[in-house]
Structure 1
Amino acid sequence: MSIRIQIYDVVKRGIDIFGAGTGLVVLSPVIGAVALVVRAKLGSPVLFKQDRPGRNGKIFTLYKFRSMLDVDETKNLVNDEDRLTSFGRVLRSTSVDELPSLLNVLRGDMSLVGPRPLLVSYLQRYTPEQSRRHEVRPGVTGLAQVRGRNAISWDEKFRFDVEYVDSCSFFLDVQIIVKTCFAVLRRQGITQADHVTTAKFGEENDA
């Protein structure tokens, strides 16, 4: 990582603290209202928690709003397609389910902008080049999200992630945040063909 990017990393952490703190305060009515609706429609717990690898592969607990029903074989609720309700689809398509992740940003697990934190099980599948995505903090949004989100292949996502690692800057982060807002409003790239979101890493090569 270049000295320029190392210096920006310090500045970026300050921006993350300010942005996440402000977001949690300003959006607290929205967060509270969504929590109540999630509790009423999907039950408890309201938050989805899952271990994810962060910077340098360090594991942290990711927070999101729950968007799926519990697995229940008696009701044929086994696959993601069956468990994801229409309400859950709205949460995901509007990215409202990501709001609790601001807590992760405030804690330093994540950044506002960076490669998306993926499953721990993927760590052993990355090539050395793809693993470079963990040289920076994972983000709530990132370069891959504004260049196709779930509609692009894993190879493309990882290429964009590494591109971000090599070129991250204040101006690039601002561009990504602005483009993310437009992508959310247009609900672009929410799903991959034949999947409710996207195929797991490795599955697309097995199909």
Structure 2
Amino acid sequence: MIEMYKSFFKRAFDLIIAILVLPLWFIVLAIIGPIIYFQDKGSIFYNAQRLGKDGKVFKMYKFRSMKMNAPDLRNEDGSTFNSEDDPRLTKIGKFIRKTSLDETPQILNIIIGDMSIIGPRPDLPEHRELYENEEERKLEIRPGVTGYNQAYFRNTVPWKERIQNDIYYIDHLSWWLDIRIFFKTAKSVLKREDVFVTDNETKVKKINDIGM
């Protein structure tokens, strides 16, 4: 039954839920989109290259939360810098980050088939070169809009530990675990828990200038 869920029902549920939610997302787009645009006359979406199932690189959709041509800052471990005081965030950007509305365009990725509702959060393509030992196993399934690490730890653990949490999810994947992750995520989003990294000692480095 678990194998049937992994191979068929999980994707079927993703499609059904995404199609049902799509009309509601169009309402969010109609409200949030113009605000993002008129705040700095920039693009509404930030299309990020990410690693998908089996290492396939795909375009992940997000609402743009940063100023145009903002520098790309990374933590020392290579993960994306994320802070509530980040000066790169626009006013509406800080709001959609806190409420996780910036992630909602990924409903399109689910319909296309690049992502699942629940799975490992996708890494940047260059992160594949940093994988060690069994870490590349996180590419065995479709990445998710949310996942085990996002639901239970969000941004409170280092990148390498997040990968181990992703592998734990893959090894224990089931319908019941997905249900628990879904409701835990909803609770975290509503309470706005651990959205930003709060460690002020986190070292960051500037990679290049990109529009976010």
CA distance in 2, matches of 1:122, 1:140: 18
Alignment of 1:54-133 (within 5 A): 54-71=52-69, 78=71, 81-133=86-138
How much has 1:21 moved relative to structure 2? Answer: 1.0
Give unmatched runs, 5+ long, in structure 1: 72-76, 201-207
How much has 1:82 moved relative to structure 2? Answer: 2.4
Distance 1:163 1:29, change over 3 A: same
Find runs of 4+ consecutive structure 1 residues off by over 3 angstroms. 3-7, 77-80, 197-200
Distance 1:199 1:90, change over 3 A: farther
The question of 1:181 aligning with 2:181 is answered no
Q: Which has the higher contact order (CA 8 A, sep 6+)?
A: 2
How much has 1:194 moved relative to structure 2? Answer: 4.3
CA distance in 2, matches of 1:29, 1:8: 32
Instruction: State the identity %.
Output: 35
The question of 1:13 aligning with 2:18 is answered no
User: Which protein is richer in helix relative to its size?
Assistant: 1
CA distance in 2, matches of 1:83, 1:19: 33
| 1:151 counterpart SS class | coil
User: Which protein is richer in strand relative to its size?
Assistant: 2
How much has 1:78 moved relative to structure 2? Answer: 4.1
CA distance in 2, matches of 1:177, 1:42: 34
Tell me the TM-score normalised to structure 2 length.
0.83
Asked whether the equivalents of residues 63 and 102 of structure 2 are also in contact (C-alpha less than 8 Å), the reply is yes
- Residue by residue over 1:10-37, the C-alpha shift from the partner in whole angstroms, topping out at 9 and shown as x without a partner, is 1111001011111112332122211111
Partner of 1:37: 35
Partner of 1:170: 175
* Aligned-residue CA RMSD (Å): 2.1
